Structure 1
């Protein structure tokens, strides 16, 4: 009988075929033999049968007991406990507690929008919240009644456990927020009768079992607006050169909101890396402030504000660029004519790295809900919004724009990136293999090579041992 291979790679991504292909390619690149790859969830005694095991699979299919029980033999592609990062209400609580102790010059102080947490199951509970956790938010909303529509402050409601833009709503009054919860009450009643989950036409519906924990974030009223058509896509060109800047051909710009999607690798306990090829995800509709699209009941057309790729028509690649591709684009709505420069992009990346490092530090101070393991690594999709700094803000020589952290996502939906930018994903997974997996396979580090894989180390702390 042939001897068992020294490393068994377990891969399982039933709902993410692109991820499965990238993981498989990376294992081939790392010379992990094809015949050593398994499928499915391993039993707790698998370590005795297979020796060292690499579990590179989705969280729900992974044997976390195996990860915890055999730290010297098992490497897994997810931490077991990381709710402090990936659940919006936990993240809000985590950041708030951290800033209470480290208010100083923490990048999170200006790098996160003001946020309120609220726990509510039914719309008739909202009245009690105005005298409790939402008291100061209620004061702002009361002031809004005296303001003209264009001068009102707006807020975004997000379910704490939803993703891909599901359940997001925008409001500027107590009545509008009440109507949102009443709408979900009705959907819940319909579910009881039809035994089916409700989803609205915009694709932002939500399973009512997720409707308990929410965050309310202050709407950023001065987002950085660009016209992605200044970088038209030419599919007949090589993928890395398929977007060319032609600003001199644009006579009328179409302003669109966008957010940045950064891929962040955490490994061991704890090093954190920012993958420097960053995506810019644009809305499919021209931007307009909420006041311009709100009806008499306060319902806001979300289309100009929804920048998630999965919510765009046909999941079109037309709305996806890289941050580096935007160099030279006109910054629309600025007080003076300006373009996004290469130096601006580098300063934005540096600021993103600072914020990522700080949010992981905050999570480390919440060990109940974030427990990094020496024998695990994980890929996160981290979303940021760029905006013009308020007039009262102190000028920054390092970054001319405000970089705000929106959320962190586990198992980011890379399936939506598209074929044009497949090279970016290929490079990402190659980098994960080199930075997180090869050191475990070979027993030594290769830190000098990480820049070659576009992996910028932003945090290196010793939590509980390492490799």
Structure 2
């Protein structure tokens, strides 16, 4: 969406125009709007809809740092220094693109009135058309008839409609109190946010009778503020000038003065009674723009371009109402705090409740455990959104995952999945005595095991947290493993004390996968094997984001390759092979087992980028495989999102191997020291995926670690 910003306070200035930089920087950070700026080259307040007759305006250009905390700028220049203003750049043969950094904000200044700026900005800056014009934020309120009728801020928005009636026009003013124009940063951030939210709401809910919305936002703590449609306060006041003052003319000559003929000038000093006008607003009992501001609420006055108020729109209104967020996970959960904080930060006007209503008749986002979600509503009610897909076994069950990848790479030999997934076989074993029959049905696996050339790893398909994983080489060893599972089945107490044991008859589905013989080992971590935990968020049908702040999870003991005397039944010998921290009971070892991937100094930076690139491509290809191969068991829904935990190994040649995909991953494995990683993850999830569910734009933070690796419509397949 193309948005033009103008004002009547002029360019960046601590004295006259201190607000526009803050608002522009907020929009650049929190929206995907394409911004252009065209403002007067000096303060032009109190000038209404005026143009200077027979005046030929000229342009100049300044540039500011998007991260600046002051109103400093480069310029002015007589021609644009960047190629953004396509009509003006074409007319500037001396364009010097190297004069300012490419990411700087470009400000076009016109030596004319605010109305001139809106006219020139909308019609003569770029070849494309604009969608929205925002005039402001004005320094001070534009509430009541004396202010709004003479306001250059409102005048620019009014004039914009007369030249471009298809553009949605806003006049935005920030009302300060008791002469205090500069407030705390937190207040400015709130005011920027409320200003954007109400403008965004009005854009999405535009009333056909309205030509311009005049918005006044108080420079106060807005935590409890309301939004109200307000008529103009029809007040009057006394003259804004003093009585005539006679002053000597400075141009009189010495001779004139000696002769007693000194000339004088009669002047009328600018002396508006702002105090009287505010008292008028405070006395007003009915709802008007003036009384609304004085009560600390946001006033919205719907106008026609003739200053006529659209009285049909009156009183309080709610942004994005009706809507709700439902959180049914316990408040004690590791992710409750980060999730709730992100909701309050990015969706402050949407109430959060703790229980899901029986009837869902308002826009709802439900975050809960899989069993807490209303699957019937998720399939049939587009008002109901949730944090999980219904069908995703094609990637989260190990034997389904193996089938999905195998079926895909058969037809897509060039896919990275060909080398990023170790050779795997699926077997179904109800009881240990039936293992031989299972191998007969999977003769390729039997051949591999009879060759006794490789080590293999056995994984129950539907278990998690490392349960039931064993390393073996021969059929005899595999038989011994299944026999031990059945022995465990008869000893309930033994199973309860060993979290790595499983019951074969309860699981049945297993995957046998080639064991990675050459994992990447790092001296800084004492040669311990590790895997990478990467969080991946799928949104709707279907965007896939990889969160680039990844974890490295280390085994408790130094890695030792399995040898011929390796005891497959000795669970203690598994410690150097299994990197799942859930199996680590020693607090000292566990505290050094989870680190941020980017903190590993033994991996050169270019190798880290190679690993990251492989992960991006592997994730993208896996979801292509899922929607292409098994639509029955992977079905993206437009009203759902889900965050998965992807686990990867890295070999000594820095090649990435996908291990598994976990639904509802155990975020608390991250620990307290790296909790900010989870905080930022949920911040990105809410900003990019949840906000659009409430018809709000996704927020593109310039430092976001969310990387979109896939975007498609699954029904295209």
Same fold (TM over 0.5): yes
Number of aligned pairs? 396
Partner residue, 1:317 = 591
Contact map agreement 2:687 2:698 (CA 8 A) in 1: no
Per-residue deviation at 1:312?
A: 1.9
Structure 1 residue 255: Cα displacement: 0.8
Change in Cα spacing, 1:123 to 1:75, as seen in structure 2 (3 Å) is: same
Structure 2 residue corresponding to 1:126, chosen from 425, 428, 435: 435
Corresponding residue number in structure 2 for 1:237: none
Residue 19 in structure 1 maps to residue 356 in structure 2: no
Q: Which residue of 2 aligns with 1:161?
A: 462
| Structure 2 partner of 1:222 | 518
Asked if 1:372 is matched to 2:636, the reply is yes
Shift of 1:38: 2.3
What does the per-residue CA deviation read over 1:32-51, in whole Å, with 9 as the maximum and x for residues that have no partner?
458x32224542x2x22xx1
Q: CA deviation at 1:161?
A: 0.3
Which residue is 2:422 aligned to? 113
Moved more, 207-216 or 341-350: 207-216
Alignment partner, residue 55 of structure 1 = 366
Q: How far, CA to CA, are the matches of 1:277 and 1:198 in structure 2?
A: 36
Question: What is the CA deviation profile of residues 278-317 of structure 1, one whole-angstrom value per residue up to 9, with x for unaligned ones?
Answer: 1000111011012177139787810001111212234623
* Match of residue 88, structure 1, among 376, 398, 413: 398
Alpha-carbon separation, structure 1, partners of 2:389 and 2:506: 23
* Residue in 1 that maps onto 2:539: 267
Determine if the alignment matches structure 1 residue 39 to structure 2 residue 348: no
Q: Is 1:344 equivalent to 2:607 in the alignment?
A: yes
For 1:117 and 1:185, the matched residues in 2 are separated by: 20
Cα deviation, 1:197-222, whole Å, max 9, x if unaligned, reads: 82464x31235554200000000101
- State the distance in 2 between where 1:223 and 1:93 align: 24
Partner of 1:67: 378
TM-superposed deviation, 1:119: 0.6
Aligned mates of 2:468, 2:551 — CA distance in 1 = 23
- Matches of 2:581 and 2:355 in 1, distance apart? 30
Q: Deviations over 1:48-80 (max 9, x none)?
A: 2xx111111111111121122212x12211111
Structure 2 partner of 1:431: 684
- Displacement of 1:228: 4.1
- Say which SS state the counterpart of residue 649 (structure 2) adopts: strand
Match for 2:557 among 270, 273, 285? 285
SS in 2 for 1:165: coil
Partner of 2:713: 462
Is contact 1:256-1:285 (8 Å) kept?
Answer: yes
The answer (yes or no) to whether the contact 1:223–1:387 under 8 Å persists in 2 is yes
Structure 2 counterpart of 1:398 = none
What TM-score results when the alignment is normalised by the length of structure 2? 0.53
- Measured after TM superposition, the shift of residue 429 of structure 1 is 0.5
1:386 lines up with 2:650 in the alignment: yes
Distance 1:452 1:464, change over 3 A: farther
Match of 1:302, SS state, is: helix
C-alpha separation in 2, matches of 1:264 and 1:450: 18
Equivalent position of 1:295 in the other structure: 567
- 1:8 equivalent to 2:336? Answer no
Q: How far off its partner does 1:450 sit?
A: 5.5
Q: Deviations over 1:440-467 (max 9, x none)?
A: 2234344xx16632001110112259xx
- Please identify, of 297-306 and 108-117, the stretch whose mean Cα deviation from structure 2 is larger: 297-306
Find out whether 1:408 has 2:661 as its counterpart: yes
* 1:215-258 deviation per Cα after TM superposition (whole angstroms, max 9, x unaligned): 000001010001344xxxxxxxxxxxxxxxxxxxxxxxx21100
Structure 2 gap segments, 5+ residues each: 1-316
1:76 to 378, 386, 397: 386
Query: Contact 1:263–1:274 at 8 Å: present in 2 too?
Result: yes
* Matched-pair contact (CA < 8 Å) for 1:228–1:321: no
Counterpart Cα distance in 1 of 2:545 and 2:667: 18
Distance 2:615 2:659 in 1: 11
Residue of 437, 448, 462 corresponding to 1:140: 448
What CA distance in whole angstroms lies between the structure 1 residues aligned with 2:332 and 2:635? 26
Residue 124 of structure 1: SS of its match in structure 2?
helix
In the alignment, structure 1 segments of 5+ residues that lack a partner are 145-151, 230-253, 330-339, 390-400
CA deviations over 1:85-119 (Å, ceiling 9, x no partner): 1110111111111111212x100000000000001
| Alignment RMSD | 2.4
SS across alignment from 2:521: coil
Q: Give the secondary structure class of the aligned counterpart of 2:574.
A: coil
Larger Rg: 2
Change (3 A) 1:300 1:139: farther
The 3 A distance-change label for structure 1 pair 66 and 289 is same
